[in-house]
Amino acid sequence: MNQNSDALMKKDRLRYTKNKLSSNLTLLAIVFNALYFVSIYKSDVGSYYYKLIIGISVVYNLLFMLFAFLSSEGVKSYKLVYSFLLMVLGAGQIIRIFILPLRAKTDTITIGGVEQVVMENGKFARVCVYLVVSAALCITAGAIAFIKTRTLVAYQAELEKSKGSRS
């Protein structure tokens, strides 16, 4: 009985409180994304990346931050579409591992007659961690937002129904 009322109260609280958890997780995901691109762009073998799709990477980073920020605001007020967007952004962060970092890890570049690996294992591991954490945060935020939003919508429908039957 007590547990039931606690659960009910938890649902009722959603009507008046913002989804700050999802919102904050998303902002944290943006921070980890920033750590990722700072690590990549700071590279002393930058010329290697110029041959690649560095312009697209920059634009993607900007778009990621924009949409992630919009989503952090959207999920705060329980908008379902933003929880999906967050999950898509999270999946995108995983995919990014295979575009720049993995190629840089397996490729070599000759600088001053010396051939060297574009991205050493340590740095590769670090940027992967940044992207994975960013992805995990986005997906978790999206999942939490999805669950909370669905719960809230169902609860509100229930309330409407009981209000209707009473009148």
Partner 1 sequence: MSNLKLQHLEKIYDNKVQAVYDFNLDVKDGELIVLVGPSGCGKSTTLRMVAGLEDISAGKLIIDDRDVTSMPPKDRDIAMVFQNYALYGHMTIYENMAFSLMLRKENKNEIHQKVLAAAEILGLTDQLNKKPNQLSGGQRQRVAMGRAIVRTPKIFLFDEPLSNLDAKLRGSTRREILLLHKRLKATMLYVTHDQTEALTLADRIVCMSMGHVQQIGTPLELYDNPANLFVAGFIGLPPMNFFDITIKEGRAVCEDFSFELTPQEKKALVRYEGKPVTLGVRPEDIVEGGEIGLTVFSNQNLGQATLVNGTMKKHKITCKFRGWFDYKAGAQIKISFNRRHFFDKETTDAIRLE
Which window, 9-17, 26-34, 85-93, 159-167, contacts partner 1 (CB under 8 A)?
9-17
The answer to whether residue 10 forms part of the interface with partner 1 (CB under 8 A) is: yes
Residue 16 is a binding residue for partner 1 (CB under 8 A): yes
Is 9 a binding residue for partner 1 by CB under 8 A? The answer is: yes
Residue 160 interacts with partner 1 (CB under 8 A)?
no
Confirm if 145 and 75 have CB atoms less than 8 A apart: yes
The reply to whether 20 sits near partner 1 by the rule CB under 8 A is no
CB 82 within 8 A of CB 145: yes
Separation of alpha carbons 132 and 107, rounded Å: 22
Count the neighbouring beta carbons within 10 Å of the beta carbon of residue 145.
30
102, 90, 153, 154: which is closest to 128 by C-alpha?
102
Rank residues 18 and 161 by Cβ distance to partner 1 and give the closer one.
Answer: 18
User: Which residues lie near partner 1 (CB under 8 A)?
Assistant: 6, 9-10, 12-13, 15-17
